Amino acid sequence: MSARADDAAVIVVGGGHAGVEAALAAARLGVPTVLVTGDPERVCTLACNPSIGGSAKGQLVREIDALGGAMARLTDRVSLHSRFLNESKGPSVRALRALADKPGYVRVAAEAVAAQPGLTVVRGMGEDLIVETGAVRGVVLAGGGTLRAPNVVLATGTFLGGKTFRGDEVRAEGRFGEPPAIGLSATLARLGFPLGRLKTGTPPRVDRTSLDLAAMAVQSPSATPLPFSYASPRAFAGPQLPCWIVETNERTHALVRENLHRSPLYGLDLIRGIGPRYCPSIEDKVVKFGHNPTHQVFVEPEGWDEPTFYVGGFSTSLPSDVQLAMLRTLPGFEAVVMLRAGYAVEYDFVQPTELDPSLETRRVAGLFHCGQLNGTSGYEEAAAQGLIAGINAARRSQGREALRLGRETSYIGVLIDDLVTRGVDEPYRMLTSRAEHRVMLRHDNADLRLTPVGRDVGLIDEDAWSAFEQRRDALAGGVRFAESSRVGPARIGRDDLPAGATLADALRRPDIGVDDVRRHFPPATDDDVAARVEIEIKMDGYVRRRRTAIDRAVRDEAVALPSDLDYDAVPALSREGREKLARIRPRTLGAASRIPGITPTDVALVSVHLHRLILATASA
Amino acid sequence: MRCSGADARTIAARVFRSGEALRDRVATYGEIIDVDGAVIDRGLALAMDAPRTVTGEDVVELHVHGSPVVARETLRALLHAGARAAGPGEFTRRAFLNGKLDLSAAEAVADVIDAESRAAARAAQANLAGALRDAVDGVRAALSSVLEELAGAIDYPDEVPEPARERVHALVGEVDAKLDALIGDWERGRFVREGLSLAIVGPPNAGKSSLLNALLGEERAIVSATPGTTRDVIEESFAIDGVAVRVLDTAGLRASDDAIERSGIERARRALDGAAVALVVVDGSQALDADARAVLENTRSRARVVLFNKRDLGAAGYDARDDGERDALSGTVFDGAAVDAVRRAVAAAGWHGESLDFARPHLASARQADAVARAREALAHARVTLAAGEPVDLIVPELFAAVAALGEITGAAATEAVLDGIFSRFCIGK
């Protein structure tokens, strides 16, 4: 069953990780939706590495799942290497990372799109937007077709004004071998959106059979690999594979240095876009960290049956012949066959300070931006934004209020708030350091934080909701049991516990884990529940300690700043503060305080001015 | 009188009349006129164009004669011409907001404005030179550095090694000790900023007014002889080792003897209530009367200095003093050495005579002290958490909180600083 393309309420342009989450969410909320993509057989392409999740990004995937999004379930169906990171560093930074079978991921995503009622796929490229009296009305396709709808989600990835670089070879492409979107860039510029250029890159892919894996260090998946989704079965469909790690050496670095004059970034000076500091090319590593004798290279399978391995940490835009020579300096790579050379890609992005936290642009009503178009990098960051943009495009068409997630609720909330209040000056990647309330934003409790929200939104069906209620109640019951069961020091086998100590008292000790006291729980207690009981109890004091800061932040967040607030009228406000506040127009006092360059004094001045305004209005 | 802001010249032109136009940084002689064009005074106007001014904005200064009437009329004319009276510390704040000073420097300027004594000015100058910023930044950078390692190890587990806990623990301890010293200086420095309040009490004719004059010195006595402001009437201040000592209820001391008799002991008691130190003056030349004994008895339990005055006339009262007054001074207020002895005794009673190292940077406001206190609270939590063997995810937030609190003093944002540190120190990224 499909909606007809000409009575859509939401059009999503772009079939990557952001676009597919947006399209699936909007259609599932009962809104006729059209997904415009260049190649419907290749939606959700893992264009760079095969990895999904990791520190902070893994939390994003869990949150997408808890809200009712697709990424976690898609990944679990094709996970070939699952590893739980940071296990010893504490519950709030534990994160799941998986490698996906790349063709498998595209296949399951395409199946999900095809099976989604209310979602029509149109093969094509967005070329122009139809905008009437400040509101979007539809999309003009390359080749002349027109689709009309009052809500448009742009999820164009690296395709806007895309250019790829390999040595002196420069091509107009959004990805290797795929044409860029030129018209839309011009449209956005014409509408007044400030466009910038960013750069990213990808490493070479090599023939797995040409490698001597015995010469490399093995990195095994977790002994008991976990799925991302709360709904996925514990057992994976296919086998779990190892990865390998090798190190670069002086010969590798010498080749980089000798060929820098052929680099589009260094010698040729062709690239203007700003690249991510956390994902440097091998050229960057050698130039900026010349004192490091070696750099790690991660050798990862791209699929169960794929001939290619991904050479992580080796992103480069040097010419192909140099890339091959560099690869051959690595241990086990002596006879390597390079199947595809690495390249850099440069693309347009729109400053996300143009957006409301709903991801709707302030300039054009009904137009939503998500993913790399907003200056982010990463599949997870893109999918998270796509989900929110899709939800809000659907809600707008239904006349409902937008969903906005606060920084205290989720990494998704942190991501969107950072984007819309601070803007980006390099590709944005999620990191635990960005989340001030990270003790709350954990892998384990994503469902407690967000599934009730997803239920209200309408993305959590009956089955998922009742499964959540069971988990939630079992967890609450387990915590109650632990708090009320007096086991005493003797039964725990720890005489440093006070007499009458409860199971919870024992679990509060850093050196006592749930496995040490497992036998005191009812035999029917589920392993997952027991593990979560331990985390809830151990974290409780720290979460309560954060509560004050969160309450203060939430209070500042509740102070709305009028969208027409005249910052020129705020006495003594700095020029910089005045200019930034007038340009960014933060929605709340809390958002204002997070804008770089806005000082506590500025915030105080704005707050005082606002109080005066309110008093003046009240007495008028 | 200083006008600051984009319209400073426009407004000044409405109240200052001269044959020549105002030039940047050149004083011009002319007439100050009111709204009707009547001459209020003759004086100088000095225009200074942005941004090289104290506030970073256009500034016009009007130099007029010191009469309160002239000053008031000039102010009225300026307000009529479109100016707005500055709030407390507004020039400083504008200087800060215009990027002329960083946060700590701006607060140091506020200190200069408020400082009544030489020592406060010296300490404030140390801060102006960035000493406070350097001191706090050094501590913040040390914390930030270890935080970069911890946060880097969390976000890049395959690439950044986790720092040894012992090293983290040791560093947190060192940082805490430095912050403790800053807070200690702040608490001692309260006298520098706020001065010490002193009540001079004693029976009539014991020599209180003479002692006050002696402590104030010739100059201040002349100033206060022509009271022009309210403060001069009720409060005098002098300096001991650069610390401002404010004398409470000088109105009572300066009133006629009749007035003193009328208000009597009651007035002295009220002054005593608000004072940090009591300076008790009695006539030591003769046997103590009931009033003298009462005031000595009433002040025994508090910080005080006792002077048995009028030594030149005899020492009968001093010689017969109680054990409670064993350490009392004896002398005459007309003897410089005796007055010096009083000064030293007040210093000992007020701040235990501790010499304050004013060259060291000190926290310049309660807000800064609060930020340091919050940083220390977070570090205390971090130490407990470290000692308990808790995982690093519980230590990182505390260190972030400490770095953020210290950043409030220097104006550096914690998250960005730590991320910059991670990416510049560690080569990471697959």
For the stretch A451-473, pLDDT in tens is 999 999 999 999 999 999 999 99
* Same topology between domain B2-85 and domain B195-350: no
SS3 B40: strand
| B99/A92 CB distance under 8 A | no
Q: Among residues A88, A46, A99, which one has the least CA distance to residue A301? A: A99
Statement: residue B112 has pLDDT above 60:
no
The pLDDT of residue B188: 65
Report the gap between the CA of A366 and the closest CA in chain B (Å).
33
Which helix (H) or strand (E) segment holds residue A584: the answer is helix A575-584
Per-residue model confidence (pLDDT) at position A29: 98
Residue B287: Cβ within 10 Å count? 12
Which of B352, B349, B298, B307 lies closest to B328, judged by CA? B307
Neighbours of A417 (CB within 10 A): 23
Domain locations in chain B as residue ranges: 2-85, 131-191+365-423, 195-350
CATH number for domain A205-344, candidates 3.30.420.40, 1.20.1730.10, 1.10.760.10, 2.40.30.260:
2.40.30.260
Rg (CA), chain A: 26
**Does the pLDDT of residue B404 top 90, yes or no?**
no
| Mean pLDDT of all residues in A412-436 | 93
**Counting Cβ atoms within 10 Å, is residue A238 exposed (0-12), middle (13-18) or buried (19+)?**
middle
pLDDT for residue B228: 31
The span from the CA of A19 to the CA of A44, in Å, is 8
CB contacts under 8 A, A 247-286 vs B, are 276-280, 285
Please report residues of A whose CB lies closer than 8 A to that of B422. Answer: 433
Q: Which residue of B has its CA nearest to A315?
A: B430
* Nearest residue to A296 via CA among A256, A324, A330: A330
HSE, CB side, 13 Å, CA atoms: give it for residue B260. Answer: 20
* Mean pLDDT (whole number) for A123-146: 94
Query: Which among A245, A277, A510 has the least Cβ separation from residue B389?
Result: A510
Of A55, A92, A296, the CB nearest to B157: A55
What average pLDDT does this structure show over B304-320? 92
Percent of residues, chain B, with pLDDT higher than 90: 21
Is B54's pLDDT higher than 60?
yes
Q: Do A313 and B162 touch (CB under 8 A)?
A: no
pLDDT at position B225: 31
The label of the residue with tokens 């930074």 reads A93
Closest chain B residue by Cα to residue A290: B427
* Residues listed for chain B: 430
Quote the crossing angle between the two packed helices A57-67 and A411-422, to the nearest 10°. 110
Residue B357: what pLDDT? 57
**Chain B, nearest residue to A434 by Cα:** B415
d(CA B92, CA B101): 9
**Contact list, A600 vs chain B (CB under 8 Å):** 408
Is the separation of the CB atoms in A473 and A516 below 8 Å?
Answer: no
pLDDT score of B330: 93
When CB atoms are compared, the residue of A55, A575, A599 closest to B154 is: A55
pLDDT of residue A315: 95
The pLDDT mean for chain B works out to 77
Q: Do B427 and A86 touch (CB under 8 A)?
A: no
Reply yes or no on whether the pLDDT at A398 is more than 90: yes
Which residue in B93, B400, B429 is closest to A572 by CB distance? Answer: B93
A189 and A195 Cβ atoms separated by less than 8 Å: yes
- Give residue-wise pLDDT tens across range A74-86: 999 999 999 999 9
Pick the CATH number of A558-619 from 1.10.150.570, 3.30.70.20, 1.10.10.10, 3.40.50.10540: 1.10.150.570
Alpha-carbon distance B266 to nearest alpha carbon in chain A (angstroms): 43
Of A531, A549, A388, which is closest to residue A94 (Cα–Cα)? A531
**pLDDT tens digit sequence for A153-200:** 999 998 899 999 999 999 999 888 888 988 999 999 999 999 999 999
The architecture in CATH of the region A462-556 reads Orthogonal Bundle (1.10)
- Tokens coding A433: 């350091």
- Are residues A601 and B96, on separate chains, in Cβ contact within 8 Å? yes
Distance from the Cα of A141 to chain B's closest Cα (Å) equals: 36
Confidence of residue A579 (pLDDT cuts 50, 70, 90): confident
Would the CB atoms of B390 and A510 count as touching at under 8 Å?
yes
Which residue of B92, B393, B422 is the best one to mutate when testing the A interface, meaning the one whose CB has the most A CBs within 10 A? B393
pLDDT digit string, tens, across residues A250-303: 999 999 999 999 999 888 888 888 888 888 899 999 998 888 899 999 999 999
Asked whether the beta carbons of A138 and A372 are under 8 A apart, the reply is no
A609 — phi, psi (to 5°)? -60, -40
Which tokens go with A269? 């000076």
Q: Which CATH superfamily includes the segment(s) B195-350?
A: P-loop containing nucleotide triphosphate hydrolases (3.40.50.300)
Tens of pLDDT along A318-333? 999 999 999 999 999 9
**Residue B40 Cα distances to B15, B16, B28, B66, B308, angstroms:** 9, 10, 16, 13, 53
CA pair distance B169, B40, nearest whole angstrom? 68
Residue A90 to residue B159, Cβ atoms within 8 A: no
CA atoms within 13 A on the CB side of A366: 22
Sort out which chain A residues have CB atoms less than 8 A from B155's CB and list them: 55-56, 431-433
pLDDT band at B100 (very low <50, low <70, confident <90, very high): low
**CB–CB of A574 and B98 under 8 A?**
yes
In chain B, the percentage of residues whose pLDDT exceeds 70 is 71
The whole-angstrom separation of Cα A513 and Cα A515 is 5
Cβ distance of B94 and A572 shorter than 8 Å: yes
Q: Would you list the domain boundaries of chain A?
A: 5-200+347-457, 205-344, 462-556, 558-619
Edge-to-edge strand ranges of the sheet holding B2-4: B2-4, B59-63, B39-48, B27-33, B16-17
Residues of B in contact with A290 (CB under 8 A): none
Find the CB nearest B429 among A279, A436, A596: A279
CATH class (in words) of the domain with range A5-200+347-457: alpha beta
- The reported pLDDT for the residue numbered B49 is 87
Q: Thinking of the domain B131-191+365-423, which architecture would CATH place it in?
A: Up-down Bundle (1.20)
**Homologous superfamily of the B2-85 domain (CATH):** Probable tRNA modification gtpase trme; domain 1 (3.30.1360.120)
Give the model's pLDDT for residue A498: 85
Indicate the SS3 state at residue A417: helix
Give the per-residue pLDDT at B51: 76
Query: Is the distance from CB of A14 to CB of A37 less than 8 angstroms?
Result: yes
Cβ within 8 Å, pair B429-A431: no
What whole-number distance in Å separates Cα of residue A509 and Cα of residue A361? 49
- Predicted confidence (pLDDT) per residue in B238-275, tens digit: 777 767 787 876 555 544 444 444 455 566 666 777 78
Q: Which residue from A354, A174, A344 is spatially nearest to A183, judged by alpha carbons?
A: A174
- Tell me how far apart the alpha carbons of residues A72 and A70 are, in angstroms, rounded to a whole number: 6
Give the pLDDT of residue B121: 52
Query: Which has the closest alpha carbon to A435: B254, B414, B269, B45?
Result: B414
How far apart, in whole angstroms, are the C-alpha atoms of residue A316 and residue A164? 12
The rounded distance, in Å, linking the Cα atoms of B24 and B47 is 5
The CB density around residue B357, as the number of other CB atoms within 10 Å, is 11
Split at pLDDT 50, 70, 90, the class of B98 is low
Q: Which of residues 445 through 464 in chain A touch B, CB cutoff 8 A?
A: none
First to last CA, chain A: 58
pLDDT, tens only, A378-388: 999 999 999 99
Please indicate if any CB of chain B lies within 8 Å of the CB of A542.
yes
Tokens of A110: 């395409």
Contact A245, A298 (CB under 8 A): yes
For position B347, what pLDDT does the model report?
Answer: 85
Nearest CA in chain A to B93: A572
In this prediction the ipTM stands at: 0.84
Q: What is the pLDDT of residue B87?
A: 54
- Looking at per-residue confidence, does A454 or B406 come out higher? A454
Mean pLDDT of B12-36: 88
